[in-house]
Amino acid sequence: MELKNKATVSALGVAFAALLVPGLLAGGEALALPEGIETVKVAPTSKDHPLDEILSGWHFRSPETQALQEDDFENPAFLWVEQGEELWSTVEGAANKSCSSCHDDASETMATAGANMPKWNEALGKPVNLEQQINHCRTERMEADAWKWESTQLLAMTAYVRNQSRGEPVAVQTDGPMKPWFEKGKDIYYTRVGQLDMACSSCHEGYYGQQIRADRLSQGQTNGFPTYRFKWQKIGSLHRRFKGCMKNIRATPYKVGSDEFLALELYTAWRGQGLPVEAPAVRQ
């Protein structure tokens, strides 16, 4: 059995194979997919796509990590989802409103919101991602203070809202006013930076599936964010992950919420076009 980049499954048996092929248990039985998810592998939606197949980060995780995400009661990220659900109906600000004042039942009004971000905002004249849209609603509609990036409240609300779109295929706009942002994100993805002279593509396109210390490189798909990482011992945003990657290659990272990370978020979302939203995912 041949894996991507010629990594091979040893003939030592299924027990060792389970280390290389996440989801494979003793006897060859596969773990169930995360709740509400029917596939973690889709075909590219464009002939210009750089990948032959699109694989969720879930595919590259250990069976133990997969099992944590599989069950909402075991998934530690749902502590934040539950807090976000409470915040959804919490009245704040001078306008005396909550999120539910305008958007009612999140399971209906937010059913596709998490699959389509970043999205063009005509009033701002630029795209916004989910965190930015939440804060825009707070300041403009609720007349409340914006939440800080990586704050418990913003992470909780982002996790709750995106979870409403779980199972929906990622589908972002890349034409029209979004095209310059898409091209900017693509340029960032392939530009080598830092003391290690590496780009996003160096790992996530050239060597996905390969072991890097105790972890396996994924394709860098973003359909599971916000994500609970064991390294963080909490949930975190996609921009935090971008920032961490840049630090790892000894580069000066862009700021969370910056136009650069927003453009990169758009491009990486396009790379995972068609994958179902898994948020909140569990990763190593």
DSSP 98-120: -HHHHH--HHHHTTTGGGS-SEE
- The domain in which residue 102 lies consists of 78-163
Q: Give kind and range of the element (H or E) at residue 283.
A: strand 281-283
**CA 109, chain centre distance (Å):** 21
Enzyme catalytic residues: 245
CA distance linking residue 189 with residue 204, whole number of Å: 10
Q: What is the CA radius of gyration of the chain?
A: 19
- Of 131, 163, 195, which residue sits at a domain end? 163
Q: What angle do CA 110, 234, 229 make, to 5 degrees?
A: 90
CA distance linking residue 173 with residue 180, whole number of Å: 12
Residue range 64-108, pLDDT digits in tens: 999 999 999 999 999 999 999 999 999 999 999 999 999 999 999
| Token pair of 222 as six digits | 């973003």
- Of 163, 189, 216, which residue sits at a domain end? 163
Q: What angle do CA 70, 71, 74 make, to 5 degrees?
A: 120
- Of 140, 163, 186, which residue sits at a domain end? 163
Helical H segments across the chain, by residue range: 14-20, 63-70, 78-88, 99-103, 106-109, 130-137, 152-163, 179-190, 200-204, 238-248, 259-271
Question: Residues 6 or more apart from 278 whose CB is under 8 A from it?
Answer: 34, 37, 40, 56, 58, 69, 166, 223, 224
Number of domains in the chain: 2
Residue spans of the chain under pLDDT 50: 1-29
Question: Residues 6 or more apart from 48 whose CB is under 8 A from it?
Answer: none
Query: Do both 264 and 201 map to the same domain?
Result: yes
The residue to which tokens 């199972």 are assigned: 167
In this prediction the pTM is 0.88
pLDDT of residue 240: 98
Q: What CATH number should be reported for the domain holding residue 50?
A: 1.10.760.10
Give the dihedral of Cα atoms 56, 58, 59, 63; nearest 10 deg: 180
Query: Do both 216 and 144 map to the same domain?
Result: no
